[in-house]
Amino acid sequence: MRMRKHFATGAALTAAAAMILTACGGGSSTTTSSGGGSTASEGPKGTVTAGVAYETTDYGPITTSALGMGANWQVLEGLYRFNMADYSVSPALAAGDPVKVSDTEYEVKLRDGAKFSDGTPVTAADFVSSYERATSEKSIYRQFFTFVDSVEAKDDNTITIKLKHPFASLKERFVNVRVVPSSMDEDSLKAKPIGTGPYKYENITATEITAVPNENYTGNEPAKVATLKWQSLKDDSARLAAAIGGTIDVMEAVPASAQDQLKGAGWNVESKPGYGNPFLMFNTQKAPFDKPEVRRAILKSIDKKKLISSALEGQAVEATSFLPEANPAYKKPATDLSYDKDAASKLLSDAGVSGLEVNLVSTDHPWVLSLVPQIKSDLEALGLKVNHTQMASSDLYSNVTDVDNPTYDIVLAPGDPSVFGTDPGIIISWWNGDNVWTKKRDGWQTSDPESFNKLQSIMDEAVQLDGDAAKAKWGEAQDLLAEKTVIFPLVFRNMITGSNPNKVDGFQAISSTGLQLIGVSAK
C-alpha cells in the first residue's frame, strides 16, 4: 500500500501557503491595549481587545464555532499546534515529534511538567479521554481520524497511536484533539473549559470573553499580555465604530468598503486569501431538490463574478471546484457550474420543473446578507419565486437543518474548515463525510446512498496514495461533488483584518476565521 501525499502540510503546506495567499481570504482581529510593551523578563503586560464578528455559547474542545475555536487556540492545546499564518506545525503539549515504532505505530511523549491551568498534572489518560470525546459518535471531528486504529496510554506521559494504514499527516490531524481534564463534564467544557495553553479563561459572557495568563503553563509560547479580551460585535458597523473609536485595536472581518477608512485612521489592513466561503446546501430529501440537475441549475443561474465585483468588492475568487485553485489537489471538475442562465434554464426544463417556489434560509452574518439580493434576483430571472428568511447560525442549524425530516429548500451559510488544516481530506470530509451534514442537514446518505458511499470510498483510497495518484483520486472526488452538487461553494472569500500598530505588536493576520493572539503583545 502506498502512502498518501502530505498535501499542504509541513514543508509542503508552507510552500502551498504562499500560493493560497493568491486565492482566498484570511481572518482578522482587533486589539485594545493599555500599559507598556511586554518582554519575557518583564512578564505579561497591558490589554489586547479583539473585536470579533461571531458569537457562540460553545467553547468546548470539539466546538465548531469560529469564535469558540479562535479563542480556544490561546487556552487549549493539542499535541501539536498550527501557526495559522502559514499552517506550519510545531509541538504544543507534545515534547517533540512522534517516534516511529513501525509504519502503523507511533509514540508521543507529553512535555515535562505539563499541568492544566488549575494546577492538576496532565497525563496520557487525559489525552486518551480527549481523543475519545473528539471521535465519539456525536462529534463532527470523528471523520478526521478514520485512519486511526487505537489510541492508548502506554504510561502516564506516553501515548501510543496505532494506525489502520500508513498516514503522513499525523501531527497535523492531531492538532485537532485539544486536551482537557478527564473529570470535566460536557456542560462545564462548553461553558468554560480548562486547558494547558498560555492563557486561561477568566470570564465568559454572551458579549465578552476575558482570558489571563496561565501561571501553570510550561510550554514554549508564554503569555505576553496581562489580559486578552474578545468583544462580540457581529454588526460590521459596530466593529468599525469600535475600531475608529479606539475601544478595539484589531478588527475581524473588515468590510471591503471600510478598508480605506481604517487605513486613514492609521490602521494596518491586510487581505489574505483562504478557504472560507458562502455555500448553498440543498435539502436532497425534498422534491425537486432531490434531482442533481435542479441543484446544478440553481448553481449555474448565480453570477458568481458579479457577486465578487459588487457585494464582495473584489475580495474573493470564484469557486470553480470544491477546493480552491491554490490547493495542490485542485482539479477543475468535468461538470461546469459557472454562470450560464441559458444552460440553467435547460437543466430545469429537462428536469420537468417550472414555476418553482423556493424558500431560501440564510444566516444573519452581514456579509452573507449582502449576497442575498443578487442571488434572489438571479434565481427569479430563472423563473423561480424566492422567499428569504434570515436567522442566527445557531438557530438555523438547531431549528431548521438538524431536525428529523427537515423541510427547508436551500440554505445559504458561511463555512471555513481550514481552521482544522488545509489537506483535501479535511476540507472535503468536513461537509461530505459520514457526519451530521450528510445524515441530517442535506440528507445525502438517505437520498442517494450509492453516490455518497462512492465518495467515501474515493476519500479512503486517496489518503493512502501519494503524488500524481493521490491528486488523480482527489480529482475524482471533486468531479463527483460537482456532479451531485449537494453542497457547493459560490466563491472563496478574502478575509480582511485591520490592526492598530500603535496598540499591538506581533499580530499576524490569518487565512481562516478566528484570531491568532499567541505571540501578540500590547504596546
Distance CA 198, CA 215 (A): 8
**What's the confidence (pLDDT) of residue 506?**
95
| 3-state secondary structure at position 11 | helix
**What's the confidence (pLDDT) of residue 41?**
55
**CA nearest neighbour of 56 among 187, 192, 206:** 206
Domain with CATH 3.10.105.10 in the chain: 277-493
Superfamily of domain 47-205+500-522: Periplasmic binding protein-like II (3.40.190.10)
Instruction: Name residue 52's beta-bridge partners.
Output: 232
Domain with CATH 3.40.190.10 in the chain: 47-205+500-522
CA 327, 329, 436, 487 dihedral sign is: positive
Cβ atoms within 10 Å, residue 165? 15
Q: Are 402 and 443 in contact (CB under 8 A)?
A: no
Distance CA 509, CA 523 (A): 18
Q: Are 250 and 29 in contact (CB under 8 A)?
A: yes
Superfamily of domain 277-493: Dipeptide-binding Protein; Domain 3 (3.10.105.10)
Q: Are 169 and 95 in contact (CB under 8 A)?
A: no
- 303-347 residue pLDDT tens: 999 999 999 999 999 999 999 998 999 999 999 999 999 999 999
C-alpha distances in Å from residue 137, one per residue of 142, 434, 459: 7, 10, 20
Residue with cell 486569501: 273
Distance CA 7, CA 362 (A): 32
**CA nearest neighbour of 343 among 289, 380, 297, 291:** 297
Instruction: Name residue 504's beta-bridge partners.
Output: 522
Distance CA 311, CA 304 (A): 10
Terminal Cα distance for the chain, rounded: 54
Q: How far is CA 495 from the centre of its chain?
A: 13
How would DSSP label each residue in 314-362? T-EEE-SSSS-TTSTT----SS--S--HHHHHHHHHHTT--S-EEEEEE
| 3-state secondary structure at position 156 | coil
Determine what percent of the chain falls in helix, strand and coil, rounding each to the nearest 5. 30, 20, 45
Distance CA 301, CA 410 (A): 14
| 3-state secondary structure at position 495 | strand
Distance CA 431, CA 459 (A): 13
**CA nearest neighbour of 277 among 494, 68, 481:** 494
Element (H, E) at 449: helix 449-462
**What's the confidence (pLDDT) of residue 42?**
75
Distance CA 44, CA 223 (A): 6
Distance CA 197, CA 517 (A): 12
What are the backbone dihedrals phi and psi of residue 338, each rounded to the nearest 5 degrees, phi first? -70, 165
**What's the confidence (pLDDT) of residue 130?**
98
Amino acid identity, position 268 = N
Element (H, E) at 453: helix 449-462
**Residues of the chain where predicted confidence (pLDDT) is lower than 50:** 1-40
- 266-302 residue pLDDT tens: 999 999 998 999 999 999 999 999 999 999 999 999 9
